[in-house]
Amino acid sequence: MMETTIKINPKPDTPNDETFINILSSQGATIILGEQTAESLVMPLEPSPTTMFGPRGACLVSEEGPLWVCDTGHHRLLGWKHRPETDGQPADWVIGQPDFYREGQNAKGTPQANTVSVPTGICVCGEGLAVADAWNHRVLIWKKLPQNNNIPADIVLGQADFHHNQVNRGKSDTAADRMHWPYGVMYHQGRLFVADTGNRRVLVWNELPTHNGQPADYVLGQVDMNRRDENGGGSPTASSLRWPHALAIWQDNLVLADAGNNRLMIWEGIPIENNVPCRLVLGQTNFQGAELNQGGYFPTPSSLSMPYGVAVMGEWLIAADTANSRLLGWTDKLVTGQIAQGLTGQAHFRSKSENRSYGGPTRQSLSWPYGITVCGETAVIADSGNNRVLLWGF
């Protein structure tokens, strides 16, 4: 923990729209997977080994691979044995569909250990993978990395077994072993974190779960395991959540993208008990703020609009500022409302146009980036609005 980086300051620095550091290479993405069209509006694509439809999460296991992608709109996971070396390289594996050319929630059947419905977040989990299977209201865990088509998961959380998928297990309330639209997962030093978005909370397991339906050990965003009110039933606070979506660890501090409150929340260290308040927020000037771009039409260096992703690359804390079609980055000591120093995806801080000018995608542009993870010096970006995944160097 680095206490010198965590301060509260009600008067953040004055925004500067002209000066910024390119977070990622100004040459653009090194590898583009998925949509390659640059001159036409992005449309839903037929499933194949080279296409994606609105991918929301991706994970490069090591700098050499494998790579796994949540191909969200096609209701499947795509896997590459090794780090892709060319644009449009076809996937080697598929989980969730009988083959590369079919789609449909749970393969147009009932939930199984190897089907998904709107998969979103994905992360390395011990020696395996964890996937937020959002519309099945569950998280799937593979104890070992899958190395073939349709390998079934070993453990399911949020449901009693692999064959059910009701919201909160069909109950009107929630509990430590239930979920509603879980969109994000993170594994860190033995702990598993799940952004249980529809229940407006983060569930935490102190150790990697070992059996189906295992209840979480503690919760953030609610006073106990049975509550699910938006912002705790009131206005935003330092401990309340609206749409928690993605998590990261920055300088030993927990960071959460609270998309519904248009902010990043940063705790001092990693909380280990229920409902601990965060220490500061980015994207708002105080804990009570929640408006898109702080109430303005155009973004600024200190505002956010539905940030669905967050990641850490070296000294950078990076937000996927989704509705502003950009990445924002911070490297200095952080205070509440701190302006960003880094930018990728837009020509300046006050632009929010998709693909910079509402045109076709380029190697340097973004359109509704939903997810970002980092492996070594490579950012893996789920560029959802462009139906593609980008591997982009630091």
Q: What is the CATH number of the domain that holds 13?
A: 2.120.10.30
* pLDDT at residue 18, rounded to an integer: 67
Task: Assess contact for 140 and 156: CB atoms under 8 A.
Answer: yes
Residue 199 backbone phi and psi in degrees, to 5: -95, 5
Domain count, the chain: 1
For position 35, what pLDDT does the model report? Answer: 77
The CA-based diameter of the chain, rounded to the nearest angstrom, is 56
Distance CA(156)–CA(133), nearest Å, equals: 10
* pLDDT < 70 regions, the chain: 1-18, 36-44
Q: Which domain holds residue 294?
A: 3-393
CA distance 223 to 239: 9
Nearest in space to 319 (alpha carbons), one of 389, 369, 390? 369
The pLDDT, as a whole number, for residue 357 is 84
> Taken in order 186, 214, 78, 76, is the CA torsion positive or negative?
negative
Contact 121, 132 (CB under 8 A): yes
User: Which whole-number Å values give the CA distances from 35 to 104, 124, 258, 355, 378, in the listed order?
Assistant: 20, 25, 29, 14, 20
Q: What is the pLDDT of residue 40?
A: 45
DSSP annotation string for 240-266: --SSEEEEEEETTEEEEEEGGGTEEEE
Residue 260: which of 284, 226, 224 has the closest Cα?
Answer: 284
pLDDT at 14: 44
What phi and psi values does residue 319 have, to the nearest 5 degrees? -110, 135
Predicted local distance difference test score (pLDDT) of residue 44: 63
Given this model, what pLDDT does residue 4 score? 31
Tell me how far apart the alpha carbons of residues 156 and 113 are, in angstroms, rounded to a whole number. 8
Both tokens assigned to 387: 């139906």
pLDDT of residue 247: 98
DSSP string, 75-86: TEEEEESS---S
In angstroms, the CA 144 to CA 129 distance is 7
